Amino acid sequence: MELKTLFVLVVAYFAYLLIGAGVFNAIEGPMEVQHCRESKTALNTAISNLKFGNLTRNQLVNLIELFYILFIAYATGSLIVQFMNFTMTYYDKGIPILQNVTCKTRNWDFQSAFFFSGTIVTTIGYGHITPTSTGSRAFCVIYALFGIPLFAIMFSGLSERFSLVLKKGTNKVDEKDMQPLMKHLLLFVVFSTVGFVLFCCIPAAIISVAEQWTFGDSLYYAIITLTTIGFGDFVVGESQWLGDNPRIKYTPLYRVMVYFWILFGLAYMATVINFL
């Protein structure tokens, strides 16, 4: 694939992501705010209906967060069970109602929607946020049907570029007086080691600092992402809402850099697999 063609595909691809981000933000953003307001109302109502002697509101919330509530659910009746049910219902929508957060678009702001669009077409699919309405789900399906082939075509062009680098290395190794098998093993070790450092270790170190994760967790996230497994137990750029540390603030540049890393990292990983 020529560089001009690849450049046009990359531009078209990111334009497609921008369109997806705009649509998801327009559909899911207002619904997220609505769900958040509903959760606060439901929380206040539930707390006012529960009788726990002299416990304060904060003590009750801490009690629930520690799951002590499960041990007294039998003694206090169905209100506790109902309270736990709607707590998990809103949490599944990305709204931790026990945290003191303001109701505004966070999971589905434009940056997050852009990142979500990218996880669809790359087939990573973390599952950290999901469409909640019928219209949004229908658009997601159509968006994936057209976006995945577009990504595949562009992705093949990027992989081809990595393959050219590998081919140059093969030509240099062929000049050495070695057995063919040893030549290929040497080339694979060098290519995979350099790529592992560039696309896994270095990004993991940066992510570790930005997300306040351990290096081991960050390296695990990097490998799980680039193999497109995407469990969703670790997701970068989501601590404001879903993560363990809501005080972390992210810049748009960070998420853009992460997405470019995923894009080129996937192309590298595909080249390694093809080489094997």
CA 225 vs CA 55, 64, 88, 221: distances in Å: 44, 33, 27, 6
Q: How far apart are CA 50 and CA 8, in angstroms?
A: 60
Cβ atoms of 23 and 108 closer than 8 Å = no
Q: How far apart are CA 164 and CA 161, in angstroms?
A: 5
pLDDT at 67 over 80: no
Higher per-residue confidence, 49 vs 191: 191
pLDDT of residue 97: 57
Tokens of 233: 């137990």
How would CATH label the architecture of 108-275?
Answer: Orthogonal Bundle (1.10)
Please return the burial class of 228, using the count of CB atoms within 10 Å of its CB with bins 0-12, 13-18 and 19+. middle
pLDDT at 147 over 90: yes
* Alpha-carbon dihedral 201, 207, 211, 216, rounded to 10 degrees: -10
The whole-model pTM stands at 0.76
Cβ atoms of 103 and 35 closer than 8 Å = no
Per-residue pLDDT averaged across 23-27, rounded? 94
pLDDT at 118 over 60: yes
Q: How far apart are CA 139 and CA 27, in angstroms?
A: 10
pLDDT at 196 over 90: yes
At residue 76, φ and ψ (nearest 5 deg) are -100, -5
CA 28 vs CA 20, 79, 126, 141: distances in Å: 12, 30, 17, 15
pLDDT at 98 over 60: no
pLDDT of residue 240: 43
pLDDT of residue 75: 46
Query: 112-116, 143-147, 207-211, 269-273: lowest mean pLDDT where?
Result: 269-273
User: What is the overall mean pLDDT for the chain?
Assistant: 79
